[in-house]
Amino acid sequence: MKALILAAGRGRRLWPLTAERPKCLLSLGPVTILEHQLRHLGGYGVEEITVVAGYGFSAVRYEAEHVVGLRVRVLYNPFFALADNLISLWSARAELEGPFVLLNGDTVFHPHVLSHHLLAVPEPSCCRLLVQRKERYNEDDMMVRIDTGEPDRLLDIGKGLAPEVNDAASIGLMRFSALGAKRLRRELEAAVIADTALQSYYLEGLKGLATTGFEVECRDIGALAVRDIDTAEDLQAVKEAYSHFLVEETLQRSRQGRA
């Protein structure tokens, strides 16, 4: 299994914390956001990891290549200052050979999100999108509309979905089969020639899959801890509750290391 992490953005809403470092290198206390992701992925058997970077590229590459026990490759997205994450994923299109896991570079998550919902369950026929149902959603959430069944299937996705048709929010973690990767590349090639490409999100490609007859399975992670780091408040909240994003064995090793 391999993984692709999209971490090219500047993190303007975290300024001045990101004045000299990219968002993915902000500290959660014991580790950076990027190291948190890399260690969780490596801990559950992901052997090949590619990071798409832009702002602070050299620092991201140094950090990624010095996480002990992991082999990580870092690609440069030259359009990071001009475009949203559709172009980031398109710039790594040569890496889209399935099966693979795709995640955003600002998502902090409990490792059971991977083990229980992506890696230790059967491979999806096309794509499995992880979602979380909430009592309240905010403007940063990527909303999803779901056709309930066995499995639940994606009907629509986007930040502009009306509240009355919204069923959950994407958490920015998904898994593609080989077929799903092939179809996603086709969707990307079509999306990047649109007039709105620079302002588009790669998740629009999932909508394209769902509306052309390919199953995008939606899987709810329940109450497992997950949070996108968009603001200083997000970062502080994760720092204060970082133990909630670790398994008990990791906590024990951490306590032993401080003893």
Q: State residue 36 phi and psi, 5-degree precision.
A: -55, -50
Cα–Cα distance, 46 to 164 (Å, whole number) = 38
For 20, how many CA atoms within 13 A lie in the half-sphere containing its CB?
1
- Please give the pLDDT value at position 248: 61
DSSP-assigned beta bridge partners for residue 32 = 27
Low-confidence residues of the chain: pLDDT under 50: 251-259
- Please give the pLDDT value at position 258: 37
Cα–Cα distance, 209 to 186 (Å, whole number) = 10
Map residue 145 onto helix, strand or coil. Answer: strand
Residue whose C-alpha is closest to residue 46's, from 72, 22, 24? 72
Two structure tokens written together for 244: 């909630």
Give the position of tokens 């909508």: 207
**Residues 6 or more apart in contact with residue 257 via CB below 8 angstroms:** none
Two structure tokens written together for 2: 């391999």
- Please give the pLDDT value at position 223: 94
Tell me if 77 sits within 8 A of 30, measured CB to CB: no
Tell me if 125 sits within 8 A of 177, measured CB to CB: yes
